[in-house]
Amino acid sequence: MPTSKNFFAVLILLFFSHQIFAQAQSILKLTDIPFEFHKISEIRNGYTFQSNSSPQQLWLDLNNPEYLHAIFINSQFKTLWPDRTCLYFGSTDAGITWFQLGSVPDTSRSGFPSIAGTNDGIAVITNHSNYFGSPTRTGLFIDESPFHYNFTAYDPGIAEAASWPKHIVLPDGNILIAALSDSLVINHFNTSSGTFSGWVAVGTSRPEAYTFSTSDEGKIGFAFIGDGVSDAGDVFYWETTNGGITWAPPVKVFDCPSEQGIAVGALRGISLNYYGESPCIVFETCQQDFNLAGYFPRLPNQILFWSPNVNGGVPKVIADSSNVPFAPSINPQEVFPPLCRPVIGRTEIEDYIFVAFNGSTDNVYVGTDSVTYFTGYLTATSNGGDTWIEPVKFTPDSPLLDWKYISGPKVFPVMQNFPLVYTLHYVVQGDSLPESPNPNFLTAQYYHASFTNIPPSVEDEILMNGFLLRQNFPNPFNPVTHIQYVIGSRQLVSLKVYDALGTEVATLVNEEKPAGNYVIEFKATEIPSGVYFYTMQAGTFTQTRKMILLK
């Protein structure tokens, strides 16, 4: 898939202060954000149903922000899926290249995974499988070390035979798991003793329609969509400050009048995060028939945001047909209303909040089962949810793919504090859909999308002189770093790297370029540790900066 290296400053999704927020908001109404896409693997997938809710399929190690961990459901069959498994992938260069480690578990049919990790970079995966025998149930799998692919399996037991797990690694290293059996249940795993506390029923819900998160100060939150006689379509928030031993009384975030039969209620997608110590929940709502357990995918619907200190604690609409083009969703088997499956993430500092979600398009694959092509949208806030930019599409139009099941980490890494430089990461499934050359042809693949911002201060400097060479990030680095530069007019551009003695060691750019903002990757695999200098020349402009390679 083609990638873009041009990052135009007027299109940047960044809010350096509340004062420039309105200006950024109006600018971002104009066009798409320049995400860079990388195919995770050439392997194709026949089981395209990745999640029943907002996926939790990507984890990023903040202590090593170039280390990404992803897990997907995969099958090499289009029907029956006898080999369905959960494939675990890793990247050590911020998603530019990926490697496949294998199935988790490696000896059993499995599905519907969730991934998180420990403070020392170890992947923690849950899914349901037959690995522990019958009945099919949730399993917990903890790797030995980062990307070691030597998982230890833990069985929560058959008491509830719970499936569709979501989990979180707590600040103390212990793990909370939520899953669904006859009711919504939660279990606590003690990593020191290797034991579970046992499943505890906490309510009713729909498969995977529940989510954990933790604040910087260690507050743990749990949000879920109800599915009982009296709470179907409602949204609840729970909170604990002692690792899940006790929970505060639940807060009803959204009240659906399901007793009316046909009403607007929360459906499947839900995601939780924090702004400081304030919980932030995003979820989809749509019109549903609660008597027949159905929904109306061809009607407009909404993405809502809730935080107790925003809008008087009343959920706020952040996406609907007024700011995202409406198209009906055809073929409702995956339970995708026109706007759905939101995921919420925040930056490591400053707490900029980003919400990615799926939106239907006018493109329809007409076949045995006609299917609407979906795309990915992104919106954001810099003030805890009071104001939001208008959603912008970030998935490419070409080639035509059905972009579904967007997943991102809870926290996005910050590589430079002032001016703030951070990178957004998402994984998503792209499916070309057509049944060609035969119905058994596998069409879905896995992709990684990333975007690194250019701070508004860069725009100010551009206005002053038209040209700029930014400090590389990260710095120090090993062995990959990125260099941003700005060209004010079409020029012959040279960007070279020199060692401390002035010897040229690499030519990164040597060509004519139009005005714009650019990011170039420098991979220093063939040179030793040390201090290096990089120099840009463009017309009469020359600038040099220092960087440090530590291997």
Q: What is the pLDDT of residues 89-142, one digit of tens each?
A: 999 988 989 999 999 999 999 999 999 999 999 999 999 999 999 999 999 999
Look at residue 349 in the predicted model and tell me its pLDDT.
85
Domains and CATH numbers, the chain: 9-456 (2.130.10.10), 466-549 (2.60.40.1930)
Q: From edge to edge, which strands make up the β-sheet containing 491-499?
A: 504-513, 491-499, 530-538, 541-549
The more confidently predicted of residues 490 and 127 is 127
Locate 229 and state its tokens: 């006689």
Per-residue pLDDT at 484: 85
Edge-to-edge strands, sheet with 480-487: 468-469, 480-487, 516-523
- CB of 11 closer than 8 Å to CB of 34: yes
pLDDT at 16: 30
Residue of higher predicted confidence among 435 and 484: 484
The tens digit of pLDDT for each residue in 60-93 reads 999 888 899 999 999 999 889 999 999 999 999 8
Identity of the residue numbered 9: A
**pLDDT at residue 69, as a whole number:** 98
Kindly tell me if the per-residue pLDDT of 251 is higher than 60.
yes
- pLDDT-derived band at 7, boundaries 50, 70, 90: very low
The percent of residues in the chain predicted with pLDDT above 70, rounded, is 89
Residue 457 has pLDDT above 60, yes or no: no
The residue with tokens 């339970």 is 335
pLDDT at 423: 87
Q: Give me 222's structure tokens.
A: 């749990």
What's the pTM? 0.81
* H/E segment holding residue 457: helix 456-465
Q: What is the b/e burial string over 163-189, where b = at least 16 CB atoms within 10 angstroms of the residue's CB?
A: bbbbbbbbeeebbbbbbbbebbbbbbb
Nearest to 14 by CA among 363, 414, 311, 365: 414
Position 492 scores a pLDDT of 95
Q: What is the pLDDT of residue 440?
A: 62
CB 251 within 8 A of CB 236: yes
The pair of structure tokens assigned to 75 is: 């099958």
pLDDT for 8 equals 27
Tens of pLDDT, residues 283-295? 999 999 999 999 9
Q: CA of 122: how far to CAs of 144, 146, 161, 526, in Å?
A: 7, 5, 26, 29
For residue 437, whether the previous peptide bond is cis, meaning omega lies within 30 degrees of 0, is yes
Query: How far apart are alpha carbons 255 and 302 in whole angstroms?
Result: 15
> What is the model's pLDDT at position 325?
97
Averaged confidence pLDDT in the chain: 88
Amino acid identity for residue 131 in this structure: Y
∠ CA 510-511-514, rounded to 5°? 135
Q: How far apart are CA 387 and CA 379, in angstroms?
A: 10
Q: Cβ distance 203 to 184 under 8 Å?
A: yes
**What is the per-residue pLDDT across 14-49, written as a single tens digit (0 to 9) for each?**
333 333 333 333 323 334 467 889 999 999 999 999
User: CA dihedral in degrees (171, 172, 175, 176; nearest 10)?
Assistant: -70
pLDDT per position as a tens digit, 215-237: 999 999 999 999 999 999 999 99
The residue ranking higher by pLDDT, 95 or 484, is 95
SS3 331: coil
Spatial distance between the Cα atoms of 234 and 255, rounded to a whole number of angstroms: 5
pLDDT at 439: 55
